[in-house]
Each structure stands twice: as C-alpha cells, then as structure tokens.
C-alpha cells in the first residue's frame, strides 16, 4: 500500500444474503466508514444474494467455488489472486462459511476481521455459526448475548477482539427472534465501526493493524 493513499481497499467475503455486507455498504455511503472502501465482494456460493447487493451499488463481485474436499489450496489461491489484482489491504468476513486455512490467515495476519454473533469467548469456535449460536445461548440460559468483531487467526473465533456489543435475551425469545435482534442491534452497528477503526489504524501504521 502506498503511503499517500487515504483509504484502505477492502474485500468482503460472503456466502449468503449479505445483510452484513449491506450494513457495510450503508455505512460507507453515509460516511460512517470514511477511511476504507469496499473494492470487491467475493462469494463462495454461486447463488449468494450478496453478489446482487454488491452489483446494485456498483461494487465488483467475484464467485470462487470450492470443488471437493481436497481443493482448499486451489480455492484459497483463487481468492488470493483476486485480492492481489484489486490491491486489497483488508479482508472482512461477513457471513463467510468456509474456514480459511492457517496458511492463508498467517499470510494475511492482522488483515482479516470477522463478525461473530455472540460475546466471545462464549458460544464460539468450530461449529458455532448461524442459528446454532443463538440456539445454544437460549438453551444455556444466559441473559446477555451480543456480537463480536475480531481479528481472524488460525484458531476459529480465536483472534484479538476489536469491538463488542451486548444484547439482552428477552423472555420468550426464539433462536430466530434473537438472531434478528443481534444482527440489527449489534452486528450491523459494530461491524462498520470496527472496520473504520482498523482502517484508521492501518493508515497510521503504513498498512498494518496492530494485534
């Protein structure tokens, strides 16, 4: 990254409908995200609606499909090629369901962030994603949950925490109602703010975030 650049180039990796992507785009258009710009959206699902969201806002989008169980290197190398071609400085995982290898995360150390729908270290790690996180929170009986934005490391949900926001669990909540509220009241708020925070730090440090 050249020192005179005033914005961090961002790639958002997605797998589904792209509601968190939309929150990032909205924040960018409203000026909440000022020191970063989404340059490309990369999906690992050919029918992901997130790709349509990107195109509606004139953001480039690519689809990279993992074929078979032994193709992680090929899959990740394809992503790396797109990142290089678009001069990407920061990778944001927004509902991205493929676990990136240690080789990939170490190559992009302190340059990958993720949003997780719980207050890490609760209800996180391998196998904890999507609605399962909220099912476990309700079944366990906790009164407070929320969302966490963190750096990505080789340990699933194990990187340094950047930002968190708590949400109370209401009596009568279902996993579905809780999931919706955590997204709207936590994820969509802290993800753009955390991205802005990391972008500012990267610009100060010549393209690297501290961890």
pLDDT of 5-55, one tens digit each? 589 999 999 999 999 999 999 999 999 999 999 999 999 998 999 999 999
d(CA 211, CA 197) in angstroms, rounded, equals 13
Q: Is the pLDDT of residue 211 over 60?
A: no
Q: Is residue 209 part of a domain?
A: no
Residue range of the domain that includes 167? 8-204
Q: Is residue 21 part of a domain?
A: yes
- DSSP readout, the chain? --TT--SEEEEEEESSS-HHHHHHHHHHHHTSS-SEEEEEEEESSTT-HHHHHHHHTT-EEEE----STT-HHHHHHHHHHHHHHTT--EEEESS--SPPPHHHHHHTTTSEEEEESS-TTSS-STT--THHHHHHHHHHT-SEEEEEEEE--SSTT-SPEEEEEEEEPPTT--HHHHHHHHIIIIIHHHHHHHHHHHHHHHHHTTS----
d(CA 193, CA 24) in angstroms, rounded, equals 9
Catalytic residue among 35, 57, 89, 116: 116
Q: Is residue 63 part of a domain?
A: yes
Q: Is residue 211 part of a domain?
A: no
Counting the structural domains of the chain, the total is: 1
Mind listing the pLDDT tens digit for each residue in 64-114? 998 776 789 999 999 999 999 999 999 999 999 888 999 999 999 999 999
CATH code for position 181? 3.40.50.170
Q: Is residue 3 part of a domain?
A: no
Percent of the chain with pLDDT over 90: 83
Please confirm, yes or no, whether 116 is among the known catalytic residues: yes
Q: Is residue 1 part of a domain?
A: no
Q: Is residue 41 part of a domain?
A: yes
């Amino acid at each position: 990254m050249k020192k005179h650049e005033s914005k961090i180039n961002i790639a958002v990796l997605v797998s589904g409908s792209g509601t968190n992507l939309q929150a990032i785009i909205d924040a960018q258009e409203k000026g909440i995200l000022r020191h970063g710009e989404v340059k490309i959206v990369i999906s690992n699902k050919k029918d992901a609606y997130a790709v349509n969201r990107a195109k509606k806002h004139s953001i480039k989008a690519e689809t990279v499909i993992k074929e078979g169980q032994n193709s992680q290197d090929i899959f990740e190398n394809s992503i790396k090629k797109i990142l290089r071609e678009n001069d990407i400085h920061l990778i944001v995982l927004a509902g991205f369901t493929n676990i990136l290898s240690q080789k990939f995360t170490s190559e992009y150390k302190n340059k990958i962030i993720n949003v997780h729908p719980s207050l890490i270290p609760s209800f996180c790690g391998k196998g904890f994603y999507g609605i399962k996180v909220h099912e476990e929170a309700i079944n366990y009986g906790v009164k407070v949950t929320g969302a966490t934005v963190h750096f990505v490391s080789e340990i699933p949900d194990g990187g340094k925490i950047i930002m968190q926001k708590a949400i109370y669990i209401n009596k009568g909540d279902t996993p579905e109602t809780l999931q919706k509220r955590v997204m709207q009241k936590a994820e969509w708020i802290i993800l753009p703010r955390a991205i802005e925070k990391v972008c500012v730090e990267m610009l100060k440090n010549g393209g690297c975030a501290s961890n």
